[in-house]
Amino acid sequence: MKKILLFSISLFVFSQMKAQNFSRKDSLQGGLREERTCYDVLRYNLDIKINPTEKSIIGNNEIIFKVDDNTSKIQVDLFENMKIESIVWQNKNLNYKRDFNAVFIDFPEELKKGTTQTITFNYSGNPIIAKNAPWDGGFVFTKDKKQNPWIGVAVQGTGASLWYPCKDSQTDEPDNGASIKVAVPNGLMNVSNGRFLGATDLKDGYTRWDWEVKNPINNYDITVNVADYVHIHDNYEELDLDYYVLRYNEETARKHFDNDVKPMMNCFQSKFGKYPFFDDGYKLVETPYLGMEHQSAVAYGNKYKKGYLGMDLSGTGAGLFFDYITIHETGHEWFGNSITSKDIADMWIHEGFTTYTETVFIECVKGYEEAIKYVNGQARNVQNDRPIIGQFGVNREGSGDMYYKGALLLNTIRHIINDDERWWKLLYNYSETFKKQIIDTKTVIDFFNKESGLDLTSVFQQYLTTTKIPKLVLSKSGNKLNYKWENVNADFKMPIDIIINEKPLRLQTTTENQELKVDKKLVLEDISVKTNQFFIKVEKK
């Protein structure tokens, strides 16, 4: 389990939430109770067989865990449509009770704090099939254009227990990694996370493909990819780069990945630190859905196009020289897979930072002006429908604005700091400080405040917990320029940069009206506000 840091649910978040009704099922999946917190997962050993014709799974997950508090009952999760064959501990079948997707397992004696225990959870069934992966969770069973089976899975948000038994909470990851053994029909290959250990012909029409993960891993990152794959190997500064693509796409893939992957690794490692899962290697795996940040086995389905399926989501043209899925999903290796939010209500910690990595990549390759054009173009995708931070303890994310508004928040903070050397050092140190750890929003804010030497709390709160975009109100009376923030929380304060007669000025702006002495002849139209550096609105009156 990654170390959990400073979890605190701030009241200001809840003050912004619309009333919602949540069920016991939601609380069982998203909440923490003694049956979950009493143990710490050390390792998963997953051993399954996938039948493409029946669209079924059969097998087991050996769960090794340390007991953190004396207990005789634990909660493991498996979707209720999946069948439990047996749960075995010390050669004994354990009793259990199902409550929606939660499985409460009873032990015949108390497990003592500090001991290490192992259960083997045997199961089978037909996992939920996604209607539109990766946006709704589930399996994809389809065929490639040669009519070979092509299978993938994406379960972020929905829950990994959709297809295998686990402690389905972002609060706990297996300290000692995982073993993933997947048997598929002969002639097909399975690609999962980590390092390939070998394949075994089971002499029953199936071949088992064995993979080993050495690092802690998010439950939703554990994956299977089944197809008629070919393997392309490369390396970058001793980091193994492996691509698994459909056989008939090999030549296209070689050329396409060579364009982005090495420049991306060069950029990201310089800005965020060494690739966090170096000993597990880096893979791109072609999938029948658009993409997902499966740790060390990034799902790739962008059809070898630039941008997002050939489109630039910023609308500026600045995002058309790179493959969006390669860059974005790999950015998650640092932000989401390495640094993980304790609750999915804080998923902006994954998506806001990762969306910003797109801008960082553009700046590395094309320079500051193209990067600023791109990140500001993303503002057109901000909906302001609800707060970025969601509801805690019930498996609920906040608004999809966590992507673009999250990136614009980081761009704003960069320019509040107004010192690029300090900014890049802060971002690098953030990535390194919390590498392979589980954190929350308070941890992020505290770190940014400390490293920047500024109080950024009200800025984070404004953008993360409200739907209101700060509005800078400028007015003029005689030789006085009046300025203040409106449409903000009462405690909001943020400097803003303006230009008057080609002279740059920084205004330390609050919700209280402030005055600046100016030339009487100055008109408001002559004042330029650096709105490309701060995600704000401006009103001149």
For residue 134, cis peptide bond before it (omega within 30 degrees of 0): yes
At residue 12, the pLDDT reads 33
C-alpha angle 306-349-42 in degrees, rounded to nearest 5: 105
Q: Tokens standing for 425?
A: 């050092």
Identity of the residue numbered 166: C
Given a cut of 60, whether residue 9 has pLDDT beyond it is no
Integer Cα distance of 253 and 230 in angstroms: 10
CB atoms within 10 A of CB 144: 17
At residue 1, the pLDDT reads 41
Given a cut of 70, whether residue 6 has pLDDT beyond it is no
> 0.85 cut: is pTM over it?
yes
List helix spans (H) across 318-403: 324-331, 348-366, 368-377
Given a cut of 90, whether residue 516 has pLDDT beyond it is yes
At residue 21, the pLDDT reads 78
Sheet holding 56-67, edge to edge: 92-93, 83-89, 116-125, 56-67, 39-51, 178-185, 206-213, 195-201
pLDDT range class, residue 17, cuts 50, 70, 90: very low
Q: What is the dihedral of CA 325, 331, 337, 339, to 10 degrees?
A: -150
Given a cut of 80, whether residue 4 has pLDDT beyond it is no
At residue 20, the pLDDT reads 61
Given a cut of 90, whether residue 345 has pLDDT beyond it is yes
Mean pLDDT of the chain: 95
Q: Tokens standing for 401?
A: 């604005």
Given a cut of 60, whether residue 10 has pLDDT beyond it is no
Side-chain-side CA neighbours of 237 within 13 Å: the count stands at: 12
Average of per-residue pLDDT across 318-332: 98
Q: Give the DSSP H/E element, type plus range, for residue 429.
A: helix 420-433
| pLDDT tens readout for residues 101-142 | 999 999 999 999 999 999 999 999 999 999 999 999 999 999
385 burial type by CB count under 10 A (0-12 exposed, 13-18 middle, 19+ buried): exposed
DSSP annotation of 79 reads -
pLDDT range class, residue 231, cuts 50, 70, 90: very high
Integer Cα distance of 515 and 522 in angstroms: 14
| pLDDT tens readout for residues 388-442 | 999 999 999 999 999 999 999 999 999 999 999 999 999 999 999 999 999 999 9
What per-residue string of b and e applies to 221-258 under the rule 16 or more CB within 10 Å gives b?
bbbbbbbbbbebeeebeebbbbbbbbeebeeebeebbe
Classified as helix, coil or strand, 519 is coil
Given a cut of 50, whether residue 14 has pLDDT beyond it is no
CB 149, CB 206: distance < 8 Å: no
Given a cut of 80, whether residue 85 has pLDDT beyond it is yes
* pLDDT > 90: percent of the chain: 95
Integer Cα distance of 501 and 474 in angstroms: 16
Integer Cα distance of 51 and 280 in angstroms: 27
Average of per-residue pLDDT across 253-279: 97
Given a cut of 80, whether residue 2 has pLDDT beyond it is no
Given a cut of 70, whether residue 7 has pLDDT beyond it is no
At residue 507, the pLDDT reads 98
Which structural domains are found in the chain, ordered by start? 471-540 (2.60.40.1910)
| pLDDT tens readout for residues 214-230 | 999 999 999 999 999 99
Q: Give the DSSP H/E element, type plus range, for residue 465.
A: helix 457-465
Integer Cα distance of 400 and 334 in angstroms: 20
